[in-house]
């Protein structure tokens, strides 16, 4: 068994690379650009080269390295095949196999949000927990479910796609996924701005948000924290939608802890308090006290989780 | 390794006992009464005696028997401890341990709805599937989630308690669990009658259900199948609530198949067609084609699943 492993987190613009000891200590991290031209055909060779170069640089032999874990933005099945990754311009790809062919190292692939959840369970906010729900509030809403310490990838790699749970059947605006009423439409950064604009239109109340150009989720969250009544109403709605949805997911998973990450979560405790209030209201009795905490690994979660993926038995 | 095992399904009035070969062939089944007096303290000793008597009768030695699996109506954690089982008048009980102490056989315990799902995966409608969602529409709504072939018991044994997913935040009537708006309040047998009565009150439309004494879910489902417009409206509502909720659960689990069981499911294909229609409308793209099928083991599912539980590695 090697004493090192690599954890790779592939994003639409950069690839985050991490070298870890198998006890979870990060030895080094660096980035390379994500070259999406030619249907992203250079992405995996670039990653393989980065890994082999780093091994040479540090005089690591193949048997020093346990393997390479990799997280990508798209559904990945239990075998490590990517079904599609729109932002990388990939269709179906046998990612684990391709990475092994190019590096000579064992490789395991997972969905990026699922892998981030695995990172938080390994070395982050949910360290040591067996079952968790993680939700990532960014431009969209991602999710990762860990059951008995492992990623719930699902039959088609769509396990944990909780951002696309339809929570409002009556919604008329369309989500990017084609459905109407997805959680993402209300609780992502984009969704928060959308809900604030709707509230500004439908009410005549004074608000620091009124007339603001390029309204951002941060503007809305800052106004909420400053007590702006209109912003408070918007964020109460976000809390009801998210807390209520998490309560539903808890009936499925009964997690030990719920972890909230992503850019929106930088609003911190005041936002969490509202999510907790609605979660408690709607959760099944046995699950009402499930802790809801902030993610702690930030942008490194994907690298940690990818590394964990490949050394996990 | 023994070549036999017992599968026990404990209900509020009878205990169903099954003797199986470990390949899943049922050798024999019988029932004993559930004695709930004295806080149900006789239930486990009665089961142990039934097992030992059957072994004597068939000349089975302890090493012929792989173990005893048992399903009970209440939350059971990964260790096999029952947290509470209201219908059996049990508080906390180390059920697996107690059963082993009394029989000298390995024992494993699970929640009855979870165990029924495991039975359907082993020898029923979802045979061979790794990931499923099973929902049991009876007096209440039970659920069981199987991930990678195993029960998702959850942190407090509340995994799969999908009947208590709150789907209507605005509900004013209370569920038995204390919350308002649980799936069970709309889609159980009791829920279907409740929704039919509400529809009868709020509309003046003619219906075969009007003036019916002791209205039952079967009456409503029969009227729906006969095309009674009011009953059709009621069952469309049930289908939207259940299909929509299953679509949400699918975003978490991404199951290979969804299994519908319980007394209400005897309405068969016409009911399933309505559930499928709404499921497809609200499911995440990757999950829209998930098959929704009827359970096939009926009242034996719990025995099959309990047997599977104890021989599963």
Cβ distance B164 to A251 less than 8 Å, yes or no, reads: yes
CATH among 3.40.50.970, 3.10.129.10, 3.30.70.330, 3.30.420.40 for B4-122+300-311:
3.30.420.40
- Per-residue confidence (pLDDT) for residue B1, from 0 to 100: 73
- Per-residue confidence (pLDDT) for residue B109, from 0 to 100: 97
Cβ distance A152 to B252 less than 8 Å, yes or no, reads: yes
- The interface predicted TM-score of the complex, written ipTM, equals 0.94
For chain B, where are the E strands, in sequence order?
A: 4-10, 14-21, 26-33, 65-72, 107-111, 132-137, 141-147, 150-151, 257-261, 292-294
Split chain A (313 residues) into runs of 10 and give each run's mean pLDDT: 94 95 96 95 98 97 97 90 91 96 97 97 97 95 96 95 97 95 97 97 96 95 98 98 98 98 95 98 96 96 97 89
Cβ distance A287 to B158 less than 8 Å, yes or no, reads: yes
A151: β partners = A146
How far apart (Å, rounded) are the C-alpha atoms in residues B185 and A200? Answer: 36
Q: What is the pTM of this model?
A: 0.95
Q: Which fold has domain B129-296?
A: Nucleotidyltransferase; domain 5 (3.30.420)
How far apart (Å, rounded) are the C-alpha atoms in residues B147 and B22? Answer: 21
**B270-295 tens-digit pLDDT:** 999 999 999 999 999 999 999 999 99
How do the domains of chain B map onto residue ranges?
4-122+300-311, 129-296
How far apart (Å, rounded) are the C-alpha atoms in residues A195 and B299? Answer: 48
- Per-residue confidence (pLDDT) for residue B313, from 0 to 100: 81
Which of B117, B154, B283 to mutate against chain A (most A CBs within 10 Å)? B154
The DSSP output letter for A180 is B
C-alpha distances in angstroms, B310 versus B204, B289, B306?
A: 55, 33, 7
**B163-182 tens-digit pLDDT:** 999 999 999 999 999 999 99
With CA atoms as reference, the chain A residue closest to B258 would be A155
Tokens for B271, please give them.
């009911």
Nearest residue, CB atoms, A254 vs list B156, B178, B181: B156
Tokens for B215, please give them.
């209205």
Neighbouring C-alpha atoms within 13 Å toward the C-beta of B4: 18
Cβ distance B252 to A145 less than 8 Å, yes or no, reads: yes
The answer to whether B50 and B17 are in contact (CB under 8 A) is yes
Among residues B307, B310, B285, B312, the alpha carbon closest in space to that of B297 is found at B307
Tokens for A107, please give them.
């490789």
- Per-residue confidence (pLDDT) for residue A1, from 0 to 100: 73
How far apart (Å, rounded) are the C-alpha atoms in residues B51 and A313? Answer: 37
**B134-153 tens-digit pLDDT:** 999 998 999 999 999 999 99
CA angle B238, B241, B245 (to 5 degrees): 140
- Per-residue confidence (pLDDT) for residue B79, from 0 to 100: 86
Tokens for B266, please give them.
């005897």
Cβ distance A177 to B284 less than 8 Å, yes or no, reads: yes
Nearest residue, CB atoms, B248 vs list A165, A282, A286: A165
Nearest residue, CB atoms, B155 vs list A75, A131, A181: A131
Q: How far is B182 from chain A (nearest CA, A)?
A: 9
Residue pairs between chains A and B whose CB atoms are closer than 8 Å: 148
Lowest mean pLDDT among A90-94, B76-80, B243-247: B76-80
Q: How far is B157 from chain A (nearest CA, A)?
A: 7
Cβ distance B145 to A249 less than 8 Å, yes or no, reads: no
Cβ distance B155 to A252 less than 8 Å, yes or no, reads: no
Could you check whether B4-122+300-311 and B129-296 share the same CATH topology?
yes
Q: In the predicted model, is pLDDT for residue B296 greater than 90?
A: yes
Phi–psi pair at B164, nearest 5 degrees:
-110, 25
Nearest residue, CB atoms, A159 vs list B159, B179, B254: B254
């Amino acid at each position: 068994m090697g004493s090192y492993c690599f954890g790779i987190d592939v994003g639409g613009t950069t690839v985050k690379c991490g070298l870890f000891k198998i006890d979870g200590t990060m030895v080094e991290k660096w980035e390379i650009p994500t070259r999406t031209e030619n249907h992203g055909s250079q992405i995996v060779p670039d990653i393989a080269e980065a890994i082999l170069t780093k091994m040479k640089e540090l005089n690591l032999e193949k048997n020093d390295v346990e393997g390479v874990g990799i997280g990508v933005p798209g559904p990945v099945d239990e075998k490590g095949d990517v079904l599609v990754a729109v932002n990388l311009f990939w269709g179906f790809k046998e990612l684990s196999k391709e990475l092994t062919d190019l590096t000579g190292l064992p490789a395991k692939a997972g969905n990026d949000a699922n892998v981030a959840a695995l990172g938080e369970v390994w070395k982050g906010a949910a360290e040591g927990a067996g079952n968790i729900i993680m939700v990532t509030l960014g431009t969209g809403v991602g999710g990762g479910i860990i059951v008995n310490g492992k990623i719930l990838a699902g039959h088609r790699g769509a396990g944990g796609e909780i951002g696309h749970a339809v929570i409002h059947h009556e919604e008329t605006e369309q989500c990017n996924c084609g459905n109407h009423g997805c959680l993402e439409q209300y609780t992502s950064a984009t969704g928060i701005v959308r809900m604030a604009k709707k509230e500004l239109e439908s009410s005549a109340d004074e608000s620091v948000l009124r007339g603001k150009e390029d309204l951002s989720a941060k503007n809305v969250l800052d106004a909420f924290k400053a007590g702006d009544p209109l912003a408070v109403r918007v964020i109460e709605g976000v809390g009801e939608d998210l807390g209520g949805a998490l309560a539903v997911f808890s009936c499925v998973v009964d997690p030990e802890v719920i972890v909230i990450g992503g850019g929106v979560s930088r609003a911190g405790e005041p936002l969490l308090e509202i999510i907790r209030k609605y979660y408690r209201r709607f959760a099944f009795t046995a699950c009402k006290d499930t802790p809801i905490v902030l993610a702690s690994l930030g942008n490194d979660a994907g690298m940690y989780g990818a590394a964990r993926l490949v050394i996990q038995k």
